[in-house]
Amino acid sequence: MLINFARLVANENMKVYYRVRTWVMLSLLLLFNAAMPAMLYWTNAPMDVWTVFTWTESFTIYLSAIFTVIIAADIVAGEFAGGTIKLLLIRPWSRGKILLSKFVSLCLFLLLCAAITAVAGITASLLLFSGNTGFANSSGGSSMDSSLLLLLTDTIQVFVISLIAFMLSTVFRSSGLAIGLSLLFLFTKDIFSFIFNPERFEWAKYLLFLHTDLSGYLKSPVGPWGVGLGFSITILVVYCLLFILISWMVFAKRDVEA
Amino acid sequence: MPNILSLVLIMYNVEIFMVHRQGRIDQMKQEPLVSLVGVTKKISSKVLVDNVTFDIMPGQIFGFLGPNGAGKTTTIRMMVGLMSITQGDIIIGGYSIRKNYEQAATQIGAIVENPEMYKYLSGYNNLKHFARMMKGITKARIDEVVELVGLGKRIHEKVSTYSLGMRQRLGVAQALLHRPKLLILDEPTNGLDPQGIRELRDYLRRLTQEEGTSVFVSSHLLSEMEQMCDTIGVIRHGKLIDIRRLRTAEGERMYEETAFTVNDVEAAAALLEDIQATARDHQLMVRGDQNMIADINARLVGAGLRVYAIQPVTRSLEDQFMEMTGGESVVD
């Protein structure tokens, strides 16, 4: 059973990695993770390895976000646009399992992006800045732990954004709309969390906007509006389950028409 | 008391049902592979398919004929589980498409409308993709199917470089991979040249005879269906208006009528009033099988009439349907 399901995931992976587009995106991600430390090296800035990696990661995570959102938006909507959804759904598999295989494939792509960032970014930083102590552990510097934790929290944030794209892709069958709306969320969430401030509205602390970026907890155990890490994680989990449930319900029930 | 009464009623009904069923089996000697039972599709208040019921026997080519928008594709989409069924049920090889979708779907291979494949993958990888979704398809089977549809070396090229005819072939290949008991083809001849249509026809005939596969094929082209199918169902405005057997189990064309050329047509018609023989074009037209034709001949000769010729008459389907629909064409 599990082995058979792995074959579905292998199919989804084949459809992702046999496209030129995917390799262009992964190459760009690799390039920028190597190029950022190089550019910082040319500026002769007195920085240590982990600060360089933190700076690099803070930039390349946006690339990861955009690329993962593109994959997430296309993985369901693309089948509808190409008409291949018909041949996919007439196989002896429930729609829930087919959707799940797409979701697993998406998660694997996100992990690959995070792995490329970690390996390429850290390797480039080490090569160019290994002798440099810089201002490690002083103000403004980063330790190994904090920079890796930042990668973790940023990856969680990208996961939530790409899950939104995945849901919109499933509901609207339009990859353009899914990409647009989910990236809009990523870039405007700070404005919305400013407007819907929990200091002004008690209910605002339950909004997703405030909790996607967990990196605040790296500096302080208490979140921006007095809530804790556990509270934020609970909110994230509830929203993610809700998005998955909506995607599943729409995908499983929908009539596939011309 | 009411409980016992209802139980008795249920048992009575079951018995009637069993008797009815048994009768049908005896009559046909075979269980149908596919049964559509009162299938209805409504979207909001619009009825797209209205109470459609028919069976498809193993090894039979069933043609589904109707103008565009009559409900052909909607029916097919319900048969393969792409659309939900508002009322009724579809049973495939004993499994309900509503309740046991996975078991029912295992037995179906289909092309729904155009065979849209993954353009950025090679033909071979497309087949590999669908092979992974079903049990027990070996690499040898994939090669065999590629050979069968005649794609040859081009199977390793990307689908985006294929012509429409090649995509059709690849579509047929993916539908046959798992040796389905039921092959569903929606407008399969669209985009095929006459040569391709002929090949497809011969191939479907072979498939039904050698592997016992049933084929369900939809089309709006009457003449094509007439050449291809054993049985034809006609759908109009969502309703099944006729089912007609065109060929015997051996693949021989069934004749609708037989014409007797006799010296006195009126006298012959009067003599055979009991079997509703009609006079037309100075000939006597009767319906019936071989034995009945022989009996009729004996009666005519016995009554002293002279029989010059006995000929089977095939009228084109188009004429028959024109008659049935009162001059309105069944196709567009």
Question: Across the interface, do A89 and B81 touch by the CB < 8 Å criterion?
Answer: yes
Query: What is the tally of structural domains in chain A?
Result: 1
Residue range(s) defining the domain that contains residue A94: 2-253
- Confidence class of residue B293 from pLDDT cuts 50, 70 and 90? confident
Parallel, antiparallel or unpaired: strands B307-313 and B278-280 = unpaired
**Does the pLDDT value for residue B112 go beyond 50?**
yes
Parallel, antiparallel or unpaired: strands B95-96 and B87-92 = antiparallel
- Confidence class of residue B15 from pLDDT cuts 50, 70 and 90? very low
A74 found inside a domain: yes
pLDDT tens figures, B40-76:
999 988 999 999 999 999 999 999 988 888 899 999 9
In which element (H, E) is residue B61 found? strand B61-65
A43 found inside a domain: yes
A258 found inside a domain: no
CA distance A76 to A173: 7
pLDDT score, position B183: 95
- Confidence class of residue B295 from pLDDT cuts 50, 70 and 90? confident
Q: Is A3 on the interface with B (CB under 8 A)?
A: no
CA distance A106 to A102: 6
Burial B182-219 (b: 16+ CB within 10 A, else e): bbbbbbbbeebeeebbeebbeebeebbeeeebbbbbbb
Span A6-28, average pLDDT: 96
Query: For residues B265 and A33, which has the higher predicted lDDT (pLDDT)?
Result: A33
CB B53 within 8 A of CB B91: no
**Does the pLDDT value for residue B27 go beyond 60?**
no
Q: Testing the interface with B: which of A14, A89, A90 to mutate, by most B Cβ within 10 A? A: A90
Q: What angle do CA A75, A79, A85 make, to 5 degrees?
A: 130
Q: Testing the interface with B: which of A87, A97, A249, A257 to mutate, by most B Cβ within 10 A? A: A87
Query: For residues A127 and B24, which has the higher predicted lDDT (pLDDT)?
Result: A127
Structure tokens at A120: 């390429």
Q: For all residues of chain A together, what is the average pLDDT?
A: 90
pTM (2 d.p.): 0.83
pLDDT tens figures, A28-72:
999 999 999 999 988 887 888 898 999 999 999 999 999 999 999
**Does the pLDDT value for residue B332 go beyond 60?**
no
For residue A92, give the nearest of B43, B106, B118 by CB distance.
Answer: B106
A139 found inside a domain: yes
Question: Across the interface, do B83 and A257 touch by the CB < 8 Å criterion?
Answer: yes
**Does the pLDDT value for residue B250 go beyond 70?**
no
Question: Across the interface, do B113 and A18 touch by the CB < 8 Å criterion?
Answer: no
Span B141-145, average pLDDT: 94
Q: Is B73 on the interface with A (CB under 8 A)?
A: yes
CB B105 within 8 A of CB B96: no
pLDDT score, position A55: 92
A209 found inside a domain: yes
A69 found inside a domain: yes
pLDDT over 70, % of chain B: 83
Question: Across the interface, do B101 and A94 touch by the CB < 8 Å criterion?
Answer: yes
The dihedral sign for the CA sequence A90, A94, A95, A99: negative
**Does the pLDDT value for residue A170 go beyond 90?**
yes
Question: Across the interface, do B83 and A94 touch by the CB < 8 Å criterion?
Answer: no
A134 found inside a domain: yes
How many CB atoms neighbour CB A156 within 10 A? 18
pLDDT score, position B4: 52
Structure tokens at B225: 């269906």
- Look up the ipTM and state it: 0.89
CA distance A236 to B87: 41
Q: Is A253 on the interface with B (CB under 8 A)?
A: yes
pLDDT score, position A225: 74
Work out the minimum CA distance from A224 to partner chain B, whole angstroms: 47
Q: Is B118 on the interface with A (CB under 8 A)?
A: yes
Query: For residues B269 and A91, which has the higher predicted lDDT (pLDDT)?
Result: A91
CA distance A52 to A55: 5
Question: Across the interface, do A8 and B174 touch by the CB < 8 Å criterion?
Answer: no
pLDDT score, position A199: 80
pLDDT tens figures, A189-199:
888 888 888 88
A10 found inside a domain: yes
The stretches of chain B forming alpha helices (DSSP H) are: 2-28, 72-79, 101-106, 123-132, 139-149, 164-176, 194-211, 222-228, 265-271, 290-302, 317-324
Q: Is A10 on the interface with B (CB under 8 A)?
A: yes
Give A-chain residues touching B103 at CB under 8 angstroms: 92
Question: Across the interface, do A84 and B103 touch by the CB < 8 Å criterion?
Answer: no
| DSSP single-letter state for residue B60 | -
Q: Return the residue matching tokens 């080490």.
A: A126
Question: Across the interface, do B113 and A14 touch by the CB < 8 Å criterion?
Answer: no
